[in-house]
Structures are given as structure tokens and as C-alpha cells.
Structure 1
Amino acid sequence: MENNAQLLKGVLEYCVLRLIEKEPTYGYEIVMQLKQVGFAEISESTLYPLLLRLEQQEKVTVERRPSPKGPSRKYYVITERGTDSLLDFQQEWNRLCGLVEKIFREDRR
């Protein structure tokens, strides 16, 4: 799909927020979870600017936690603002999917 990158850019933030909502986690783990579900093109260089933006928008906070290997890790934790934003997105996404489905279900002529 030629517009896949643009579509992904619009929803990736909310996919990341959803993963963080499930459990506070760190950047590399988020990348691995995204790849596991099929977002093969996602890299840390794509993710970290997005996480910084989420932090600046106060949708996530950062906690330093010890790592079993090496220095401490930055764990991302969703905030109330992040949860509200995620709920708004889920409602709008469901509405949008419903509209698109209506169009694609129509008989082709």
C-alpha cells in the first residue's frame, strides 16, 4: 500500500500508548512488541522521537528502573492525560472504521 507510512504515522502513537497502558515498559521492549504483532518496519530511531513527544505532551512519564544488565532503563508510564487521549482515539477509530466499512460493504457496480 503506497500510503502505508502515512497511515502508520497517524496510528503508531496510539499503538505505543496502548502498549504502555498495559504495562510500564522501556523503548526496546516496545519495538519488540510492535515487531511481534507485525510492524516489521518499526525501529528504535522511529520510536524514541515519538516517546519524547509523548513525554513532552505529558501523556507518559519516565521512571528510571534498574536493569539486570548494565545501566538503569527508562520505563514509560501512561498518565491520566495519556489514558484520556487513548480513549478518545479508540472512540474516533471505531467511528472511522464503521464509516469505511459502510463504504466498502456497498455493492460494487
Structure 2
Amino acid sequence: MNTQMKKGIVELCIMKLIQHKKSSTFEILSKMKNLEVSENTIYPILRRLYSDGFLKQEKANNEVGAPRKYYDLTDRGLEQLNLLMGEWEEFTHSVNQILKGENHE
């Protein structure tokens, strides 16, 4: 799969995963393991979403090691997620029509 396309899908998945529950990077990676996404992909996306104002961070003390960062959507992030979800649904609907042979114009 094209790298840029995969990053866009990963961004959507990250935002959807943390929509209802604050999550650490470890939790996000665990939930996305079937997509074969590495930390090298996740961290830059999280940093960009945070710097764009779509995510907020909260640090929590960890019994071992450095404090963990937990991510949550901001109101702006929720608006962006809703926009991306709509675009995704339109896109996948159109692709599925083509793949099923329903688009013979």
C-alpha cells in the first residue's frame, strides 16, 4: 500500500481509537498491531496531531520509568475526526462500487 495512503488511514484509526478513551502510545500500538504499524509511523503522526490542536496530552506517573503520555481528542480533533470519517465512508463506498462492478458508466 502507498505510504501516504497508509499514513492517512493510520491517522484516522488513531483518532477513532482515542475518541472515547484516553490512550497511551503503547495502547494505540497494541490495538493497531494487525495493521503492522511501527512506532516510527505512530510517533510522528501523534506529534503532528498534537501540534495541529487535534489531540491533547496528559502525563501520568508510571511505576517504572518515565511518565506515560495519554492522548485524548480536543473538540477540534472531534470535528476533524467526523470530517475524516465522512470522507472515508464516501471513498470506500465508491471503491466498493467499482470493485463489485456496479460503476459501469
Shorter-chain TM-score bucket reads 0.7 to 0.9
**One-letter amino acid of the structure 2 residue matched with residue 93 of structure 1:** W
Name the TM-score, length of structure 1 as normaliser. 0.84
Structural RMSD (CA) = 1.5
Separation (CA, whole Å) in 2 of partners of 1:90 and 1:46: 21
2:93 alignment partner in structure 1: 98
**Could you tell me whether the CA contact under 8 Å between 2:7 and 2:41 is conserved in 1?**
no
Structure 2: unaligned runs, 5 residues or longer:
none
**One-letter amino acid of the structure 2 residue matched with residue 72 of structure 1:** P
**Could you tell me whether the CA contact under 8 Å between 2:19 and 2:73 is conserved in 1?**
yes
Are 2:75 and 1:84 equivalent residues in the alignment?
A: no
- Moved segments of 4+, more than 4 Å: none
Number of aligned residues: 102
Name the SS for the 2:49 alignment partner. helix
Name the TM-score, length of structure 2 as normaliser. 0.87
How far is the alpha carbon of 1:7 from its aligned partner? 2.5
What does residue range 6-85 of structure 1 map to in structure 2 within 5 Å? Answer: 6-35=4-33, 38-40=34-36, 42-85=37-80
**One-letter amino acid of the structure 1 residue matched with residue 78 of structure 2:** T
